[in-house]
Structure 1
Amino acid sequence: MNIALKYAHITVNDPDESIGFYRDALGLEVRNDVASGGFRWVTLGSPTQPGLEIVLSQPHGGRSQADGDRLQELVTKGALQNVGFSTDDLDALFERVRASGAEVLQEPADQPWGPRDCAFRDPSGNMVRIQQVAKA
């Protein structure tokens, strides 16, 4: 029996603004864009991982008003868990993301726990970390 991660959710305020970051700055491809009940769920993924998708969803999408309000507060504070990516060319990706106007939290640096990485905030305030992997 095999098991694999299929979806990872990221809560965002504005799907269009977030698509600009995740597609244009990070280089992911939009795989699906579904509207329902005044909200949207957008899936993106990397061509190198065809079975894994990130789902961008709005705080109130599919939730009660009270739960959506609480989640919105956490998004606004930047208090949700970060998302991590890996790349074989950290410096080039860092420059592309920085050129997009994303807020830089950390320039590429060697970390004491091992990887060389950097960090940004997406347009909704979520922390996005990117680490270098060895080139094949």
Structure 2
Amino acid sequence: MNLSLNWITLRVRDLEASLHFYHGILGLPIERQFESRGRQIVMLGAEGQPKIELIQGSDPALLPECGVSVGFETESLDSAIEELKSRGIPLARGPVSPNPHLRFFYVLDPDGFEVQIAEHS
């Protein structure tokens, strides 16, 4: 079996707040937005890459405390930290450097899910 990651689904309480975070602040492009079974759904991510699927709902299928996080790669961790701080997004943890080739930190999305920003050198 040959599999590739297609998307990760996050059930969010406030779709507009989540869109502001993932699209407006993190800069993920909106691939498409639609309604299915009465719920608003937005697929975000660059062409040819796995997507983040946001589904509007009042009760998340996973609670932020469940240990799920979403990770992104950046070319400059320091620039990412400054950009997020300038937009009022505080660091939740880090930056951490577990080895000489990796540095990362975490911020929280509007529902409290951890979002990891990493730089590999």
Size of the alignment, in residue pairs? 120
The equivalent of 1:79 in structure 2 is 65
Q: Residues of 1 paired with 2:56 and 2:45: CA distance?
A: 18
Residue 97 to residue 29, structure 1, CA distance change in 2 (3 Å): same
What are the ranges of 5 or more consecutive residues in structure 1 without an aligned counterpart? 61-67
In structure 1, what residue type is equivalent to 2:28?
Answer: L
Matching of residue 89 in structure 1 with residue 87 in structure 2: no
The equivalent of 1:128 in structure 2 is 115
What are the ranges of 5 or more consecutive residues in structure 2 without an aligned counterpart? none
SS in 1 for 2:42: strand
8 Å contact from structure 2 (residues 101, 120) kept in 1? no
**Corresponding residue to 1:53 among 40, 51, 54:** 51
SS in 2 for 1:5: coil
**Corresponding residue to 2:96 among 88, 109, 120:** 109
Q: Residues of 2 paired with 1:113 and 1:57: CA distance?
A: 37
The equivalent of 2:15 in structure 1 is 15
8 Å contact from structure 1 (residues 42, 56) kept in 2? yes
Q: With structure 2 as the length reference, what TM-score do the two structures score?
A: 0.82
Q: With structure 1 as the length reference, what TM-score do the two structures score?
A: 0.74
CA RMSD of aligned residues (A): 2.4
8 Å contact from structure 2 (residues 39, 57) kept in 1? no
Q: Which structure's residues are more often helix, by fraction?
A: 1
Q: Which structure's residues are more often strand, by fraction?
A: 2
In structure 2, what residue type is equivalent to 1:33?
Answer: Q
Q: Residues of 1 paired with 2:95 and 2:36: CA distance?
A: 39
Misfit runs of 4+, over 6 Å: none
Q: Residues of 1 paired with 2:99 and 2:76: CA distance?
A: 20
Q: Residues of 2 paired with 1:103 and 1:14: CA distance?
A: 20
